[in-house]
Amino acid sequence: MEIKTKVFLRKGAQHRVENGHPWIFQSELDYIEGEFEPGDIVDVFNSRQRFIGRGYINPRSQIIIRILSRQQEPINREFFKRRIETAWRYRQTFLSEPEYCRLVYGEADFLPALIVDKFGKYIVIQTLALGIDVHKETIISVLEELFSPEGIYERNDVPVRKLEGLDMRKGYLRGDFPTQIIVNENGIPFYADVDKGQKTGFFYDQRENRRFLEQIVKNAEVLDCFCHTGSFAVHSALYGAKSLHSIDISEEAIGLAKKNAELNGVSERCNFEVANAFDALRSLTEEHRQYDVVILDPPAFTKSRNSIEGAARGYKEINLRGLKLTRPGGFLVTCSCSYHIDRDLFKAIVVDAARDAKRVIREVEYRTQAKDHPILPAAPETNYLKFLVLQVVE
């Protein structure tokens, strides 16, 4: 496969991408040789004209090139098949239930901007950049060959596609099936709504962290804020929690959480409430309520560096109140999926909250995302989830 377009990076701009990061920004380019159309495959060279990688280009995006390969190899159906087969082998190696997993996690599986979630016999796909979207039919063909799914659904109703000049869309790509399906996590069944749910319909990234709860929730009174569809609550109940008070602002999410509790026979111990978690935490604090375990798993408070300060205030507020609501000897489980709030900053925010809450804490565990969301050390953007478990000593 001969690539006619060559992209040269300016001097001093190549170090990050040469170290393994898959993104090249507009500001890092020196010049381009040859004609191209947005979405085309181009070869990238450093300022010394040494080959760096092969990727797709879109001048409309600030991330103008995303690297697909470090080799001068054809980007064709066989390429995508090899990449997806490699991703599947990785999941089979590390997951106990690989039929239910994030099968392709974009850059970390060397297929930038491609998300593929496997829900047993169904697959949900996102193509979040122009350069991967042009290969969508090829990718679907490979998925059909490798997995023979009964249905494939696209969740391309994501605003980030607009930055790539793409429209937002969702719907069936193959087959016709009920969009509310059952998935398994840690051997526990859950309803997932691949049409109306957030992202692709289910969050696999906390799988191993939810299993960790078994060590701390037995006979516990648990407060679960930002509970979404009840995964932490149901895990806690099945692991022996005495009672669950779960809060989320979404009526649809709470409706599905109740169904998940019923599905697992734990409804009698689960109280699900539609409320703003910030307001609920404030009210519960004013009522001097206490719990053995408090779980905080909010959505991302920031999507950019410009709003880190405001996000930090939000994290401090919920953690301060969460710490006040935790009985001495109990545990705060606090999470952040905001990439721009890094691990050190997140821990510093929680330590600051503990000081203001006049709580003495000790760290039990500091974890990250599940293994089907692998991390590239050269691309810190792939390492986004923080799962911090603290004991409130006094």
Which residues are annotated as catalytic? Answer: 337
* Residue 303 to residues 43, 160, 240, 286, Cα–Cα distance (Å): 30, 11, 36, 31
CA 217 to chain centre: 25
- State the chain's maximal CA–CA distance in angstroms: 69
Q: What share of the chain is helix, strand, coil (3-state, %, to 5)?
A: 35, 30, 35
What radius of gyration, in Å, describes the C-alpha atoms of the chain?
Answer: 23
Would you call 42 helix, strand, or coil by DSSP? strand
In order of 136, 229, 236, 320, the CA distances from 92 in angstroms are 24, 26, 26, 40
The tokens describing 201, both together, are 């319909």
Bridge-based pairing of strands 100-105 and 23-25 is unpaired
Cα angle 379, 14, 133 (rounded to 5 degrees) comes to: 55
The answer to whether 392 touches 328, Cβ cutoff 8 Å, is yes
Q: Answer whether 155's CB lies under 8 Å from 198's CB.
A: no
> In 164-232, at which residue ranges do the beta strands (DSSP E only) sit?
169-174, 180-185, 188-193, 221-225
Per DSSP bridges, beta strands 326-336 and 386-392 are: antiparallel
Angle at 159 between CA 156 and CA 162, to 5 degrees: 90
Q: How far apart are CA 281 and CA 217, in angstroms?
A: 20
Spatial contact of 61 and 163, defined as CB atoms under 8 Å apart? yes
Q: Pull the structure tokens for residue 42.
A: 């181009």
Question: What order of strands is seen across the sheet that includes strand 386-392?
Answer: 270-274, 243-248, 221-225, 291-296, 326-336, 386-392, 361-367
